[in-house]
Each structure stands twice: as structure tokens, then as C-alpha cells.
Chains A and B, each alone.
Chain A
Amino acid sequence: MTPPFRRILVANRGEIAIRVMRACRELGIESVAVFSDADRDAPHVRAADRAEWIGPTPATESYLDVEAVIGAARRVGAEAIHPGYGFLSESAAFARAVEDAGLVFVGPPAETMEGLGDKLAARRTAVAAGVAVTPGLLVAAGEARDGELDALGYPLLVKAAAGGGGRGVRRVDGRDELADAVDAARREAEAAFGDGTVYIEKLIAPARHVEVQLLGDRHGNLAVLGERDCSVQRRHQKLVEEAPAPRLRPETRDGLAADARRVAEAVAFHSAATVEFLVDADENRWFLEMNTRLQVEHGVTELVSGVDIVAWQIRVAAGERLSDEVLAATPRGHAIQVRLYAEDPWNGFAPMPGRLGAWTMPDGPGIRVDGGVEAGLELPTAYDALLAKLMVHAPDRDAAVTRLRRALDETAIGGVPTTLGFHRWLVDQPDFIEGRHDLRFVATTWGSGPPLADGDAGQAAAAVVQALGAARPPGPMAGVAGSAQAGVPLPVDGQRPWTRQARAEAVERDPEQ
């Protein structure tokens, strides 16, 4: 196969940059990383064939700087730019600037992004395509007619039209809170996205977040690669995603696929995209938005469909046609992804930058880890706290949950608090095991988390320290002097008494030794 491009610049960082570079390598394409001051030694820089500095640490002066990114692409002679997710991936202005520079933007045409990137415009597009949207406004909050909102009933959600990642969202429980919530959402949206337009929709609860993965080419072919459930969320941000969605009636599944196809066909679409819906208790479907980019959770769909979405995104950008295999792909088995963030679940999921200590990831049958970090890495405070995505694939959902539990037990992360502890708790929750959870799950069932040293955990942790103390030879603690720093906790010589003790035990068990 002739590589679709000779050289691609990956305008992102962290795990997604590495994911795209891996696809490039398999396609025979040279990859070029970009990096800011904070990312000079970042793993994504080393994963690429070459790397270009694009500016200081703040994202606005580097990863979000259109001129800097396009300048880097020009310098290295890249033919195409892959934006990943976040940063410039949904900026129609960026897509246009890439095209104007004579380069290929790996994504849909700029005009498609203009029509869908704005959530309000996307709602109007869906309505015109005959797809139900959540009840609410089709115009900005300030332009609503009197009484229009009261007719919807409370609670309502105020959302930023340019929003994403859960920012610029406010819940309103009564009329007296409305004006303040609109103002607050407007300010947050203005600060985060440079656009303070907000709109209002009815809060649908209980509901699940279900989304459909699409892949289209420039020749009018569209593959619907099935749906994902992403109902385990905190702060309106996803923590766990799975494919297919559990406990959905076949007609709901088909309806979601048909709705997604209808929205995509209403716009000139190619590349990868996701159409997001809410599904309520009666399995009514409500269109939320369409994301015209790669999603963080694309991997679970890759696992069940067997389609390499990133590779095809690149091939389609070069004008290739989707193969018959891709167009006919049907999901096999069940896949679940958990997101490992440097956040403390016991502290309201607050981000916890710092230096990463130990980093042991699981492997073996049915495991995939898309990571962007390594042991000892100083996590920059300027960017997203996502460390890695742990995915499992198994023949059915029960087996996938069992495999996920096994995988989490093989995972060890030191230095900073992470969401690992939340996920380990999650896989023992009956509602999750049975797939009955909805969007309220984290708030109602996790709350602020069970006591850290609950049950076995405290006893076992105490036993660790006791075992270390018991094995330490008498005398000064010189050997541990350098250990106060996180991540370098124990002496390096490998001949401490407790390792010797373990070896002695092993020999005892196996007389052949």
C-alpha cells in the first residue's frame, strides 16, 4: 500500500498524539510532534520521527497558536495536520487556515465544522434533519421569548454554544436562579472559548449518555460503527466508556444509528465524528451535539468493530474510499475504557499535578493501554490531567467487567492520586456490574468516596509498613535517606532483607531451585 501521505504533523500532546503517531507508523507515514516549553522531554516528542518547538508553556501560545502550528508544518514539509482532540481540533478557523496554507486538515471540511461546532447551530441542523433534540431553545439565551423557558419547566441546563469538556454548563432549579446562572455560564464560556453565547435546554434525568461513532469518506460513503455508553461522568465529563451500550432495546440501537446518519447526511461530512444523544428511562432519544473530531473514547469502538478509526481518518483525508469491510463492520464482543486522570476522587476529583512515581500498566489478553506518560514524569499544570486510557475487550459485558477488574489489579501508579481508586471501586458496584447506571451515578453512588482506609485496604497498608519495618536491619536508616522523594522510595541495591526474604520463601516453595 502506498502511504496516504509522506509526512504528517500531529498538533497535539499526550496520549492522543502518541495514538496518532502509532497510526502514522503503521501507515508508513513520517510523524512530526510539536511541543511547548513544558513538553521538551514529553513522551509524545520521542514517539515521533521528529519534533518542532512551537512556543511557551501556555496553550494559547503554543498548542492553540494557529500560526505557530502551521509554521511548524511548513518548516518540516508536512503534507497534512492531524489535530487530535481538544486544542484546535474543533476550530473551523484552524481547519480553514490549514487548507489555505495548501495542507490537508485531517478532519471534515471547515464549513461542516462551522455548521456543527457551535452547539446551537448543531441543534438547528438536527431539527431540520428530523431528529429530536432535547427540549429547549434553538436561539441564544438573550433572544428567548418571554415565558418560553417557564413552559419547559425546571430544572434546566444553561450551556455554552461553543462549549466542550463540560465547561460553561450550569444547572438551574428555579426561575430565580436563571439570570445568575446565565451570567455565570456566559463568563465561563467567554473565558474558556472566547464566545459567551449560551442557550438553555431542559435537564433530562434520569438519562444515559449514548453516542454513535461515524466514519465517512469524500465519496459519499458513511460507516456507522455502533454506539458507546458514556454515563459514568463527573462534572459533565466522561470517566468510563463502553461499547456497545448495555441494556438497550435493539430498536433503540437502530434508531440511534439512523438518527446519527440523518444528521451526518444533512451536512457535507467526511472523516470521523461522533453524534451524542441522551437516552431517557423510556429509551426516548434526544440529540445533544455532533463532534467532528476523534473522541477520547474512540478506542472502545475500534476494539469491538475491528476498524482502526485513526488510520482510516488519515486515509480518508487523502481521498481514499472506505473499504467494504469498514462499511459492513459489526460490533463483536464488549469493550470498556476507564480514563486514568491525575485527579483525586476522594477530593472532588480535583486535578493533582506533581511528579509521577511508579507506573505499572496491565497487559495480557484483551487489554489495550493508550498512554502518554511514564514513571518519573513531571505532569505539567498547564494541560489536561489525562494520563492514559485503559481498555479491555472480551466476548460479552460480564467477561469485560471481570477482565477490567483483573487489569485494574495489575495496575500500580505512584506519586500522585489518580482515578484508579475510583475505577477499582466501580467494578465492584452492583449497578455498574449490571449495567443499570445512569448519568447520576457518580454523584449519588460515589459522592465523596468511601473512607480511604476502608475494610481490607487499611489493614493491608498497615501490614506493608509493618513488613518493611520488620525486615529493616537494626542501625541507622541511612539506606532510606534518599527515599523521602515520591517515586524513589526504596534503595536500589536489590539486596535489602525483604527481597532476600521473598527469595528465601520462593526457594522454600520450590525445592528444585
Chain B
Amino acid sequence: MTAEREILIGDRPVAGEPGWTLAWVDPRHGVALLRREHQHHLVVIEGGPTDWVVTLGGRRIAVTARSHRDRLLADTAALAVARRGPSHVLATLPGLVVRVLVEPGATVAAGDPLVTIEAMKMQNEIRAPRDGRVSEVAVAPGQAIATGALLVRLADLDP
């Protein structure tokens, strides 16, 4: 079963180099020591069983381990998204909505700022993932939001 799994970082398959072993694992905290000869890396392991985040030297690296079946499903879904792009713009971080920069009906280009969210004293602009027309603005200034909250809905531009 392990033989059919492939390991990916981003879209790139990575052949894990031989020689690395997990010297110990603290399963309570997800901390482990990765070792190869005299090299040591203290790592944090999160997620699973297919999508993992391995934090190594402070770098959070997303690693995907998937079977061929998973891969086919994922590729199909990705293709669907690539054709039209996501139509829901979600909050990538929790915070306070301080500005809404678009109104329903507005035409936006990929990269245009849509909403400004203040978190930890910093202002962060959430941008349009693709070209489109704003079909709904789901938040208002002053509103506290959680990660993943719907901010703006985009519709396709009229052909």
C-alpha cells in the first residue's frame, strides 16, 4: 500500500532521499526528530493522513501523500477550478473587517483588493483570485470574522 503513495510538495513529486529516519516521535505534541547520520532536524508534524504540514527549521512545508486514486480525484477537481476559478472569496485569517472596497455588481480583475481585514494591529488586503463580477458582499466594516468566512462572491464576467 505504501508503494503506491506518492509524496508531493506543491505540484512537484519529491522522492524522499533515503537515509532519513524518525529517531523519536512525541505523539502528544506532534514533535519528532528526523535524523540522517550526523544531521538532525526537530520537526513538527501536523495534519494527515494525506495532507500534512511539516515544520522544519521554522519552515512550514505542505506535503501531500496520496494514492493514485486520490490523485485522479484531485486532478479532476483542480481542472474544474482552473476552468472558472473559485467563486467564493474566503477570509484567509481571522480579524476585523475594516474596509469593503467593492460593491455588488462591480467588475474586478484578478489581484484587485476586495476587503481589508485588520488582525494583530496589521491591515491585510484580501484580493480577487480571478476576474469576475461581484455578485454578493457578505461582510460589512466593523464585523469580526473567522478564518474561512465568506467575504465576497464572484460571478463570471458576461461573455
Contact = CB atoms under 8 A, between A and B. Distances in A.
A174 B138 CA distance: 40
B98 to A, nearest CB: 10
Contact of A483 (B1, B47, B93): B47
Chain B interface, DSSP helix/strand/loop, else mixed: strand
A408 B96 contact: no
A470 B1 CA distance: 9
Interface residues of B, number: 57
Interface residues of A, number: 74
A417 B60 contact: yes
Contact of A490 (B21, B25, B59, B63): B25
B2 A470 contact: yes
A259 B56 CA distance: 44
Interface string B1-45: 110010101100011110011111101111110101001111111
A258 interface: no
A67 interface: no
B54 interface: yes
Contacts of B32: 464
A173 to B, nearest CB: 23
Given A409-B40, A413-B55, A496 B25 contact: yes
Given A412-B44, A464-B22, A381 B96 contact: yes
A470 B60 CA distance: 22
A420 B147 CA distance: 23
Contact of A412 (B21, B27, B43): B43
Nearest to B40: A409
B121 A489 contact: no
A468 B9 contact: no
B136 interface: no
B23 A412 contact: no
Q: Which of A453, A486, A492 has the most CB of B within 10 A?
A: A453
Contacts of A472: 2, 49
Given A412-B43, A467-B22, A458 B122 contact: no
B58 to A, nearest CB: 3
Contacts of A179: none
A462 B14 contact: yes
B58 A424 contact: yes
Nearest to B23: A502
Nearest to B45: A489
A474 B1 contact: yes
A351 B56 CA distance: 20
Contact of B121 (A358, A383, A462, A496): A383
B60 A452 contact: yes
A246 interface: no
Contacts of A409: 40-42, 57
Given A353-B120, A383-B121, A467 B93 contact: no
Contacts of B48: 468, 477, 480, 483-484, 489-490
Contacts of B44: 357-358, 412-414, 489
Given A413-B58, A474-B1, 8 more contacts: A358-B29, A381-B120, A413-B55, A453-B59, A463-B16, A463-B36, A492-B28, A502-B24
A-B interface, 5 closest residue pairs, ranked by CB to CB distance from nearest: A420-B58, A421-B58, A463-B20, A489-B30, A351-B120
28 contacts: A352-B93, A353-B120, A358-B29, A358-B31, A375-B29, A409-B41, A412-B44, A413-B55, A421-B59, A421-B60, A423-B58, A453-B9, A459-B20, A460-B54, A460-B56, A462-B9, A462-B16, A464-B32, A466-B7, A466-B65, A469-B65, A472-B2, A474-B1, A489-B30, A489-B48, A490-B28, A501-B22, A502-B22
